[in-house]
Amino acid sequence: MRKIETQMNEAITDRTDWGKDNTRVETIDGVSKVYLHGNLIAVVDEDSMTLYDGGYQSNTTKSRLNALCDEFGYSGEGVFQKNFEWFVRLWTGTEFHTTEFRSGMRLA
């Protein structure tokens, strides 16, 4: 995980606003919104996380989302790319399931 992603996750955990280079976290009433280049890429609250691609399925977006999944999701969840398409590996409670990435998908 990149240093900037560690700092991003710390800001979410501490429920503080933070920004560095192209990444920003804004927290209001315990809900953190993560922005990359000004585009919303995630919303993290106490019970869930909602993932967005911000309109750009870039390697940096994918890296930020995977850092969030590592910290606030289940171990093994994450975003990956195959044949130029994005997918998400999700924990269903009993097993992992792979599905197409959809911007705005909620992970509980």
Our count of domains for the chain comes to 1
In whole angstroms, how far apart are CA 11 and each of 15, 33, 80, 93, 98? Answer: 6, 11, 25, 28, 29
Domain residues for 61? 3-107
- Helices 3-14, 59-72: inter-axial angle, 10-degree rounding: 50
Over 90: is that where the pLDDT of 56 sits?
yes
Q: pTM (2 decimals)?
A: 0.95
- For the chain, how many helices (H) and strands (E)? 2, 9
Give 69-99 pLDDT, tens digit per residue: 999 998 899 999 999 999 999 998 899 999 9
